[in-house]
């Protein structure tokens, strides 16, 4: 708003300063800028209000002052809302005191990111001298200011909702409303409210629980040196089976003297080493089987899967390959008995049973029927070969380390699902293992 005269400059200072008496000009029927205001000039409406407030060329009239301040407000000048609110706050001239209207106009100014509007809205609704004592209304007003871009309003609103502004209003909390304000305050570099945001979003019991946002604010606060949140972040990543990220988060917590996190970091790193070794062994076995099958050594492939690897998956692959190549006859009867004692899948089991039946072994019919009952193959193996049939083992790998209890966010099964969903929708992560 450009200032064209000394009087207009005075309009930019607090209203009380505007009220300072000075030599008044003769009153006229209309203020100097009134016609321009009525023609749609918002700035002229503000100057017209100031003229009626001070009796500048017109007779002083506080009702008319409010009228033109509010007209300026409606046309986008938030100062008009704030000044109108201050007249209602005190009750001046022919305008009576009306705290509700005063707060309403402050709220309107605050929703336009007007600093004074937000400050007054907060003060009047929470200062005992005004007798209003309405933190919920204050929080709504400040939320409007926060959404409009006034960063301090974000912090104030978050504080009211999080802990009643540090216990000033012990009976008032609103975590659902506080969380987005805390997030906005954090994005405006208010470190304390980054921590508050991490608590509000990461706690599954919080009505503001949000898996994706919790990862963000736990990460921010972890990077800022909050060791407990590094540990909490590690627990979330561990629940998502993002082991490298979990280990890195635990290690950050450990380096910041969160001693329990050191144990968690060691457990995850040990698991990663064991899992890497398992993958190496599986890859080596896969390579051996590929070589045996591709060279037509089906009997050797079956024998290796049975006695060296104890792997149902690899045995099924060897049997199926032999059946497809018409080479089941190359497999020894002893190995067929061993295979029959295992819980093979339908296709492989059927191929083994047919071959045993063709050889007249007495294990005839489908598995589980007639003489081919569960345990029959194992007993026959023991009778014929004087030893137990070969066993098999699952290839699930080492058990994952137990996840720590999170001080701010203990993830139940439902919570894990929420984190998983959030993680999989975050940019650049659609193909991570947790999403498959």
Q: Which of 296-305, 352-361, 390-399, 409-418 has the lowest mean pLDDT?
A: 409-418
pLDDT at 97 over 90: yes
- Structure confidence at residue 410 (pLDDT): 45
Q: Give tens-digit pLDDT for 172-188.
A: 999 999 999 999 999 99
Among 303, 327, 297, CA closest to 315: 303
DSSP readout, 226-269? -HHHHHHHHHHHHHTT-HHHHHHHHHHHHHTT-HHHHHHHHHHH
| Whether 306 contacts 315, CB under 8 Å | yes
Residue 186 phi, psi (nearest 5): -65, -45
- Structure confidence at residue 394 (pLDDT): 66
More confident residue, 205 or 199: 199
- Structure confidence at residue 419 (pLDDT): 56
- Structure confidence at residue 93 (pLDDT): 93
- Structure confidence at residue 420 (pLDDT): 53
Q: How confident is the model at residue 69 (pLDDT cuts 50, 70, 90)?
A: very high
CB within 8 Å of 79: residues ≥ 6 apart: 1, 12, 46, 72, 73, 109, 114, 116
- Structure confidence at residue 329 (pLDDT): 95
Positive or negative, the CA dihedral 129, 177, 78, 88 is negative
Mean pLDDT, the chain, rounded, equals 85
The residue extents of the domains of the chain are 275-385
- Structure confidence at residue 260 (pLDDT): 87
CB within 8 Å of 168: residues ≥ 6 apart: 126, 135
User: CA 63, 65, 71: angle at the middle one, nearest 5?
Assistant: 105
Maximum alpha-carbon separation in the chain: 127
Average pLDDT value for residue range 73-92: 96
Q: How confident is the model at residue 117 (pLDDT cuts 50, 70, 90)?
A: very high
Q: Give tens-digit pLDDT for 242-271.
A: 999 999 999 999 998 788 899 999 999 999
Prediction pTM value: 0.69
Burial category of 4 from C-beta neighbours within 10 Å (exposed 0-12, middle 13-18, buried 19 and up): exposed
- Structure confidence at residue 346 (pLDDT): 83
Residue 433 phi, psi (nearest 5): -60, -30
CB within 8 Å of 133: residues ≥ 6 apart: 125, 126
- Structure confidence at residue 397 (pLDDT): 65
7-20 burial, b for 16+ CB within 10 Å, e for fewer? bbebbeeebeebee
Q: Give tens-digit pLDDT for 6-15.
A: 233 333 334 4
Average pLDDT value for residue range 216-239: 91
């Amino acid at each position: 708003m450009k200032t064209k005269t000394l009087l207009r400059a005075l309009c930019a200072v607090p209203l009380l300063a505007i009220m300072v008496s000075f030599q008044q000009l003769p009153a006229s029927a209309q203020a100097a800028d009134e016609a321009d205001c009525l023609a749609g000039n918002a700035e002229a409406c503000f100057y017209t209000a100031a003229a009626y407030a001070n009796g500048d060329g017109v007779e002083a009239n506080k009702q008319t002052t409010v009228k033109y301040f509010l007209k300026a407000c409606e046309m986008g000048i938030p100062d008009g809302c704030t000044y109108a609110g201050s007249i209602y706050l005190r009750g001046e001239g022919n305008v009576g005191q009306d705290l509700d209207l005063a707060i309403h106009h402050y709220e309107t100014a605050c929703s336009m990111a007007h600093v004074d509007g937000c400050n007054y809205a907060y003060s009047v609704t929470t200062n005992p001298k005004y007798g209003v004592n309405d933190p919920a209304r204050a929080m709504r007003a400040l939320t409007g200011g926060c959404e409009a871009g006034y960063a301090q309003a974000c912090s104030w609103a978050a504080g009211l909702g999080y802990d009643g502004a540090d216990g000033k209003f012990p009976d008032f909390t609103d975590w659902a409303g506080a969380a987005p304000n805390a997030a906005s305050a954090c994005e405006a570099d208010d470190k304390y409210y980054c921590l508050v945001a991490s608590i509000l979003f990461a706690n599954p019991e919080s009505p503001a629980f949000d898996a994706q946002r919790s990862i963000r604010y736990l990460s921010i606060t972890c990077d800022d040196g909050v060791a407990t949140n590094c540990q909490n972040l590690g627990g979330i990543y561990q629940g998502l089976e993002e082991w490298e990220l979990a280990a890195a988060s635990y290690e950050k917590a450990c380096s910041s003297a969160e001693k329990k996190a050191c144990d968690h970091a060691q457990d995850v790193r040990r698991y990663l080493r064991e899992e890497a070794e398992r993958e190496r062994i599986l890859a080596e076995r896969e390579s051996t089987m590929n070589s045996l099958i591709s060279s037509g050594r089906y009997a050797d492939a079956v024998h290796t899967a049975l006695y060296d690897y104890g792997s149902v998956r690899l045995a099924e692959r060897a049997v199926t390959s032999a059946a497809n190549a018409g080479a089941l006859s190359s497999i020894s009867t002893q190995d067929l008995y061993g295979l029959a004692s295992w819980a093979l899948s339908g296709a492989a089991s059927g191929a083994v049973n047919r071959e045993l039946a063709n050889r007249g072994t007495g294990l005839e019919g489908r598995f589980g029927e007639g003489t081919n009952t569960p345990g029959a193959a194992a007993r026959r193996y023991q009778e014929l070969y004087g030893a137990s049939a070969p066993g098999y083992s699952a290839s699930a790998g080492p058990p994952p380390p137990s996840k720590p209890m999170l001080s701010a966010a203990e993830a139940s099964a439902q919570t894990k699902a929420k984190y998983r969903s959030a993680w999989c929708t975050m940019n650049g992560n659609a193909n991570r293992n947790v999403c498959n």
